Amino acid sequence: MFSRFKLTLGNDFGSYYDVGLRLYNQTSTMIKQSLETFLIKEDRLDGSRLQQHWFPQVDADIFLSHSHADKDLAISLAGWLKQKFDLNLFVDSCVWGYADDLLKQIDDKYCVIPGSETYCYQKRNGSTSHVHMMLIAALTKLIDQTECVCFLNTPNSISSENAVTKTKSPWLYSEIAISEVIRYKAPIEHRDKSVAKLAKILESEGYRAGLNIEYDVNLQEMKEIGKETLFNWHRRFMTAKKKHPLDCLYEIYKR
């Protein structure tokens, strides 16, 4: 990762939704096919192999963390970035449904109490921890490999209380926390495929979902992008000669 941004946008990208949806569906299909190769056929699941290959062949320039309620805006933004700059935006909601599918298959096979349709509480806790930890490890690798990390800053994802920003989403919290500590790499390391991109997998704590838990999130060091900045970025790119589109964005903040 080279840079982090928080996006404060309006709903001015709806005309790019269809383009973004095609890209979103392509990535979703690829992830689904990948997870299907790990369906339980024996009495064990290779957790290390699963987290290493969760996002096969994902070539993302920008990683977008967002609330599920902003999914349509995220998809529209992906379409805009693709059409204007030919940049690939990874929308993190691609993965959540398939993680739940994998977890349900594990639970249906291993966590049901014999003679009932109820899951064993202890076994269910264990399976959830394993799948979520594998997903966090895979997301850490993807964030490390992506040049930019963006957070879609809306009331759906962040609330403010006494000047402290909070989120109720453990996934948003974990992705922002990862982006704070992940190693910084020069853009050439992301763009030159001959440069090694092996990431050191960070250990992370398990996250409990479903409860009304709030997490303090640090957005202070993220550069802020509004819709006017996006349009300014595009104008710069259109007049630049042979510049990478992300370099045009970075130039705005050098001042």
In order along its 255 residues, the chain shows pLDDT tens digits of 999 999 998 878 899 999 999 999 988 888 777 766 666 555 566 677 776 667 766 789 999 999 888 999 999 999 999 999 999 999 988 877 677 887 888 899 889 999 998 999 999 999 888 888 888 888 888 899 899 999 998 888 877 654 456 777 778 888 888 888 888 888 888 887 554 343 333 333 343 333 445 656 777 778 899 989 999 999 999 998 889 999 999 999 875
Q: Which two tokens stand for residue 7?
A: 């996006």
Name the helix (H) or strand (E) containing 221. Answer: none
Name the helix (H) or strand (E) containing 166. Answer: strand 164-167
Which pLDDT value is given to residue 9? 86
Q: Which two tokens stand for residue 65?
A: 């963390």
AA letter at 56 = P
- State how far the alpha carbon of 94 is from the alpha carbons of 43, 61, 103, 241, in Å: 28, 16, 16, 34
Residue spans of the domains in the chain: they are 3-227
Which pLDDT value is given to residue 131? 84
Which pLDDT value is given to residue 190? 85
- The pTM score is 0.78
29 burial level (CB within 10 Å; 0-12, 13-18, 19+): exposed
AA letter at 52 = Q
Which pLDDT value is given to residue 99? 78
What's the CA gap between 31 and 93, in Å, rounded? 11
Taking alpha carbons only, the member of 115, 124, 88, 94 closest to residue 29 is 94
What's the CA gap between 152 and 4, in Å, rounded? 11
Cα atoms found within 13 Å of the Cα of residue 150, Cβ hemisphere only: 25
Which pLDDT value is given to residue 177? 87
